[in-house]
Chains A and B, each alone.
Chain A
Amino acid sequence: MSHGLPVYAMRLEMNQLELSEPSPPPARTAWFLRGMCAAFSVPGLILASAFIGFAGLARDAGLTLAQTVFMTGVVWALPGKVVLVGAIVAGNSLPAAAFAVALSSVRLAPMVVALAPEMRTPETRQWVLYLLSHFVAVTSWVLAMERLGRVPRPMRTTYYAGLGSALIILNMGVVAVVFLIAARLPPTLSAGLFFLTPLYFVTSLWGSARERAGQLAMILGLFLGPVFHILTPGFDLLTAGLVAGCAAFGIHLMAKQRETA
């Protein structure tokens, strides 16, 4: 009975922990699996359809199956990948392609800034956050911001690891399967398949724009893309993005000044 006292003390501590948490936290694995399950939801399904389109796009651009699956894993965010494939098709050099991809992905930084405090506890190690940040893209971010509130704080990094890794692996699989069967599809079906990417972005881009300026930038970008494709081939994405973004921002500033005046 020499261990009686410490064991009792430990029980007491655990009881106190249970009192402070509304539900006793189950094993880490269970939360990881719950995170993975969140990938099989309507937003996850929509994302998979966008990756079906992306696989068709990449295959058409002359990329191999291995290159496309590799790109899916290492870049992950769909806008960055679509821009990268666009730059490859246009024959852009590596610095120009990287610059265009970087410009299209800046918004990942504020998304991570917003998400990290939701998951962080005083015990969270910094490298865990760096690792998890790779999973950040529109869909996993929206799902996490929506569901992390219902996850006990110490389990949130585990939950997001499950969600993020399930989404990436699932869509790497989707890309590989589409790559293998694309050649055997009837032409109308593959036309529909290629059209998934534009449709996904035309709708989700509007929804993810947080301010009116973003929606204006989208409309301007849609018109200026083809215009600059003819005027400045090779730099069309950069010029269209910069002109559309700066013009929308300028109008946003003018509207704001009128409000305060």
Chain B
Amino acid sequence: MTFTANDSWWWPYLFILLGGWLATDFWRFLGVYLGGRLSEQSELLVLVRCIATGLVAAVIANLIVFPTGVLASTPLSLRIGAAVSGFLAYLASGKKVVVGIVAGELVLCVILLWLDAL
């Protein structure tokens, strides 16, 4: 039951609907249903937010450490260095996401052009 398991044209869309749409809108609809019954401060929600944050962070780290495509032919140390510089620039600028993204991209692209690696 993987994404590529079935050759029918509709299978990827069904996969996206069940694995993506249902898995996200379920929570949105639950939020409307629960209304004011759920407290933002409850400890259970802290745990839930921690697991969600950890999971997305794991995806992101894998994108940096085990990338596919063009990024796979760049040095690992450069990718980690660019991500760390972006994050530090974000913190130094008073948490401005734009600054973090631009700084990280500059480090990556300038060094790639300088190394002439691609």
Chain A positions within 8 Å of B, measured between CB atoms, are 42, 45-46, 49, 56-57, 60-64, 67, 70-71, 74-77, 79-84, 86-89, 91-95, 97-114, 116-117, 126, 129-130, 133-134, 136, 187-192, 194-207, 209-211, 213-214, 216-226, 228-229, 236-238, 240-246, 248-249, 252-253
Contacts and interface: CB of A to CB of B under 8 A. Distances in A.
Given A109-B31, A248-B50, A46 B101 contact: yes
A63 B58 contact: no
Interface in B39-82: 40, 43, 45-71, 74, 79, 82
B39 to A, nearest CB: 9
Contacts of A214: 46, 49-50, 53
A188 to B, nearest CB: 5
Given A67-B12, A75-B21, A245-B55, A217 B32 contact: no
A202 B83 contact: yes
B61 A222 contact: yes
B35 A70 contact: no
The 6 nearest A-B residue pairs measured at CB = A112-B31, A241-B55, A221-B57, A244-B54, A245-B51, A225-B58
Given A93-B2, A218-B54, 18 more contacts: A61-B68, A74-B16, A84-B19, A101-B23, A108-B27, A109-B30, A109-B31, A112-B31, A113-B36, A129-B32, A134-B25, A189-B109, A195-B82, A198-B64, A203-B100, A221-B55, A222-B61, A225-B60
Contact of A107 (B29, B35, B49): B49
Interface residues of B, number: 77
**Most chain B CB atoms below 10 A, which of A103, A194, A199, A222:** A199
Nearest to A131: B32
B11 to A, nearest CB: 10
A213 B17 contact: no
Given A109-B27, A112-B32, A221-B53, A89 B68 contact: yes
Contact of A82 (B27, B38, B59, B97): B59
Contacts of A242: 51, 54-55
Nearest to B105: A192
Main secondary structure of the interface of A (DSSP, over half): helix
Contacts of B53: 205, 209, 214, 217-218, 221, 244-245, 248
A190 B70 CA distance: 7
Contact of A200 (B2, B36, B43, B101): B101
A199 B100 contact: yes
B49 to A, nearest CB: 5
A55 B60 CA distance: 15
**Most chain B CB atoms below 10 A, which of A71, A102, A189, A217:** A217
Contacts of B47: 245-246, 249
A206 B90 contact: yes
A188 B112 contact: yes
B60 A222 contact: yes
Given A221-B58, A243-B54, A194 B67 contact: yes
A226 B20 contact: no
A60 B31 contact: no
A228 to B, nearest CB: 7
